[in-house]
């Protein structure tokens, strides 16, 4: 095991604990992955963050083959397919955060009610069609929804998923998706949602490209 792989294992443990601490996840829900050269590192199945150790992280190839004694997350195919499809992305986080999951269970996407909705890489935060967890159908549904530069979406009757160039970035995007979902939920409770226009959102997407120190990260 080289140093890069070892650090990636520690970062996966760290991000799973961070998601639980932030209230994005609970128990054994959710999972995460990161690209590791020609392989993929994914979190194990059914291990709560407090018990998760770097040695439990599972290393997979493109077909899901592994020499680990631990079973990979049941969603491993979704992670591998996404990272294989998107060479511009290096990490994926999936969680069952409260507001995003509530909207997903109501069959709702998040519209352009706030400029930070563009954190998803588009003008809204779309909703991927439902499929049973751990299936090839779900992996295909998510991969299709997260095309053309998209970085996040809601998963119908399931939760949310986000991608980033790093685990840290994927976590930040996932956190912002939950914030935007909470805003939309709030406007639905009030009974009035005022959305930004398509042109206003396009302007934001353009500005995001030059934001921050390296000109690629969304504002935080």
Helix/strand/coil for 110: strand
CA 193 to chain centre: 25
The C-alpha torsion from 73 through 77 and 78 to 80, rounded to 10°, is 100
Active site residue 75: yes
Alpha-carbon torsion (59, 61, 67, 73), positive or negative? positive
Helix/strand/coil for 36: strand
Cβ-contact 147, 136 below 8 angstroms: no
Place of tokens 């998923």: 161
Q: Token pair of 189, please?
A: 């409770």
Cβ-contact 119, 151 below 8 angstroms: yes
Rounded CA-CA distance 44/75 in Å is 10
Options 5, 20, 38, 75, the catalytic residue: 75
Active-site residue set? 75
């Amino acid at each position: 095991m080289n140093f890069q792989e070892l650090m990636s294992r520690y970062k996966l443990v760290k991000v799973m604990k961070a998601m639980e601490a932030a209230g994005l996840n609970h128990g054994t829900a959710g999972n995460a992955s990161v690209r590791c050269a020609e392989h993929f590192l994914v979190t194990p199945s059914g291990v709560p963050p407090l018990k998760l150790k770097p040695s439990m992280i599972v290393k997979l190839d493109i077909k899901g083959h592994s020499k680990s004694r631990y079973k990979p997350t049941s969603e491993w195919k979704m992670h591998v397919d996404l990272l294989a499809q998107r060479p511009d992305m290096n990490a994926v986080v999936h969680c069952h955060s409260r507001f995003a999951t509530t909207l997903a269970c109501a069959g709702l996407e998040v519209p352009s009610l706030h400029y930070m909705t563009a954190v998803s890489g588009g003008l809204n935060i779309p909703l991927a069609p439902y499929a049973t967890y751990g299936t090839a159908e779900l992996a295909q549904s998510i991969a299709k929804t997260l095309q053309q530069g998209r970085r996040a979406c809601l998963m119908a009757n399931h939760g949310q998923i986000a991608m980033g160039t790093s685990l840290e970035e994927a976590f930040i995007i996932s956190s912002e998706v939950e914030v935007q979902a909470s805003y939309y939920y709030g406007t639905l409770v009030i009974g009035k949602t005022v959305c930004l226009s398509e042109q206003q959102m396009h302007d934001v997407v353009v500005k995001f490209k030059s934001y921050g120190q390296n000109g690629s990260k969304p504002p935080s």
